[in-house]
Structure 1
Amino acid sequence: MSANPNRPADPNVELHPLIAARWSPRNLDPTAGVSEAELLSALEAGRVAASWGGTFPVRFVAGMRGDETFTALTDLLTEGNRAWAHAAGALVLGAAQSRNAKGDLEYAMFDLGLATAQVSLQAVAHGMVAHPMAGFDADAARTQFAIPDEFCPAVVIALGHLGAGEHPDEAIRESDARPRRRPALAEMAFAGTWGRPFGAAPRE
């Protein structure tokens, strides 16, 4: 199911519909909830993401609208994010373990990025949207949730349903209406040497 069939990606080549449908709106429906089953499914998608060396340094703190965890996560957000994210059905804090008994976990943030992507795609599969945010107080999160020193809180993901009609806040309306801009594939996928687009030269 497409989270928003009216604003798909403009891919250079064919994409799976779930990937094409993924985007990060701010206009969320404050009356639509996220069920526990849907939230668990999204978290499970993050859990099974690829992990460097099988270390899986990713942990989540999750709350559903109305519970204490959701309220605490909302309070941690910057003012700009709090203005719209309070309407999410669920909020998920993602943290990455930077070291363990074996030493530094060099790719921990990479693993958290992979897990966040899979949480987002699973949300789309449930007809929802997901919006990852960097704008929150990581130090306060560490205190609020007693996060161990070896873990770095790095992202809060808002899960919810797209709101009907236009958001009353003009800045949010403009942000959601802004074209989705990405470099062309030829500007970011190379072969042979840096800057030579993949597929531009004959294959041998």
Structure 2
Amino acid sequence: MTTTNQHPSTVRNADTSVPLVDLLDERWSPRSFDPQATISDEQLAALLEAARWAPSASNMQPRRFVVGRRGTATFDTILANLMGFNTAWAGSAAALVVAIAETATEEGEARTWAQYDLGLAVSALTVQAHAEGLHTHQMAGIEVDGLRAAFELPERFLPVTVTAIGVVAEAHLLPEPLAERETLPRTRLPLDELVLARD
């Protein structure tokens, strides 16, 4: 596990109702990444290993990944298949990871919980990234058909998100209005709106 010395302006703890473990309390999703920082082979392996060992319904493991590090053709292909303002900042990330749900078996049997299973894997990857001194940002604004075609994915493989991974940088490196958005207070719905019943 590695850590980085972060600038104070990039540390954004959650305003929680009860204390959480540091890896969850400190985790947030920046858009400003250091364009010079890299992710090592060891770090990348740890992130993917965390995803591999995430919970899986009936141990079916219906999740797949395409990984590209900045400076590679794979990275550029993923970046070209992002939508909207994601393209304005994601190119500075050290790596981009396409998260893919295997929605059916080769025989055509539906895997109903594939996206839930994939989400657990990406969550584990995210926590491991923070333990490695990195940050992540998941994006749903992606060109699904473009990614499918670019990486020759079968129809049963559904690209769901792309995760940017890297070393967080200061907000002012972003273009406006993204820089302002980067420093807004972190918010979540209160528990009493999320929990419908609790005894």
What TM-score, normalized to structure 1?
0.89
- Does residue 129 (structure 1) correspond to residue 145 (structure 2)? The answer is no
The match for 1:33 is: 38
Aligned equivalents of 2:169, 2:55: Cα separation in 1: 32
Distance 1:132 1:165 in 2: 18
Instruction: Decide which of 164, 169, 174 is 1:163's aligned counterpart.
Output: 169
Higher relative contact order (CA 8 A, sep 6+): 2
Q: Which runs of 5+ in 2 are unaligned?
A: none
- Structure 1 unaligned regions, length at least 5: 192-197, 200-204
Determine which structure has the larger strand proportion and give its number.
Answer: 1
Alignment partners' CA distance in 2, 1:20 and 1:166:
23
Q: Secondary structure at the match of 2:115?
A: helix
The farther-off stretch of 87-96 and 157-166 is 157-166
For 1:82 and 1:37, locate their aligned partners in 2 and report how far apart those are by CA, in whole Å: 27
Q: Residue type of the partner of 1:108?
A: A
User: Quick check: which has more Rg, 1 or 2?
Assistant: 1
Structure 2 residue matching 1:179: 3-state secondary structure: coil
Structure 1 residues 177 and 150, CA gap change in structure 2 (3 angstroms): same
CA contact (8 A) 2:171 2:180 kept: no
SS at match of 1:174: helix
* Cα root mean square deviation, aligned: 1.7
Q: What is the rounded CA distance, in whole Å, between the counterparts of 2:193 and 2:42 in structure 1?
A: 40
2:23 corresponds to 1:6: no
The CA deviation string for residues 15-37 of structure 1, in whole angstroms up to 9 with x for no partner, is: 11001111111011101111121
TM-score of the superposed pair, with normalisation by structure 2:
0.91
What does residue 125 of structure 2 align with? 119
Same amino acid, percent of matched pairs: 37
Segments of 4+ in structure 1 off by > 6 A? 2-5
Which of 48, 62, 75 pairs up with 2:80? 75
